[in-house]
Amino acid sequence: MLEGELISCNVARPEAKWVWQGRVVETSIYKMPVAGPVRVGRLSLEGDQQADLRSHGGEFKAVYAYPAEHYPVWREEMERPDLSWGAFGENLTVRGLSEDEIVIGDELAIGSARFRVVQPRYPCYKLALKMRRPDMIVKFLESGRSGFYLSVLEEGFIAAGEPIRRVTHPEGSLTVKDIVSLASGVSGDRSMITRALGLEFLPAFWKEQIQDRHRG
């Protein structure tokens, strides 16, 4: 049974950060760690709020988790030793849950809350603005270090330091890394494409990305 650890809970409210293409951009990507138990609601953590509900939030992007193991790699690659928990806009910084082990549909238990792994993160321009790297979106996808979004199955309370248990593991599913590889064109395995398009819990956006990438 796969087990991990919740390293940090991170939240933020929308705030104006940049002027981009002639308009003021609000963002909640500047997440900060919070101490003590945090309430998990159906659509977000208490104290957290998405700025752009067209691209973020909702049932299938309620909570974003990111592996702590990626931080040393990014710090070295980007020469950013200052990167701290929440730097990638994640709500949950986790350890022991990698994209090549977690599959779409996995159910995870943390504290008194329960979550389902739904999809990888597809980065938007705000990550590039925050990291001050125009190539960040491409670099993020190609790295395979996407993290993953969770839907909330049971509301409850969570806290840093608590264990993460995988309580159900759907047979025949694909890993988060598989989905990113198919959508980015790194993999063109036809059998995996067919399996991805048939996944019950994978949102239509990713199925469309995979179909468009491999059309014809």
Of the chain, the percentage scoring pLDDT greater than 70 comes to 96
Q: How confident is the model at residue 18 (pLDDT cuts 50, 70, 90)?
A: confident
User: Residues 73-98, buried b or exposed e (16+ Cβ, 10 A)?
Assistant: ebeeeeeeeeeebbbbbbbbbbebbb
Residue 52 confidence (pLDDT) above 70:
no
Q: Domains of the chain (ranges plus CATH)? A: 3-171 (2.40.33.20)
CB 165 within 8 A of CB 42: no
Q: What is the mean pLDDT of residues 116-125?
A: 94
Of 23-27, 162-166, 190-194, 197-201, minimum mean pLDDT range: 23-27
Q: pTM for this one?
A: 0.95
The Cα 116–Cα 155 span in angstroms is 12
At 113 the pLDDT is: 98
pLDDT value of residue 17: 81
pLDDT digits (tens, 9 = 90+) for 22-34: 888 889 999 999 9
Q: Is the model's pLDDT at 49 over the cut of 70? A: yes
pLDDT for 132-186, tens place per residue? Answer: 999 999 999 889 999 999 999 999 999 999 999 999 999 999 999 999 999 998 8
Mean per-residue pLDDT of the chain: 93
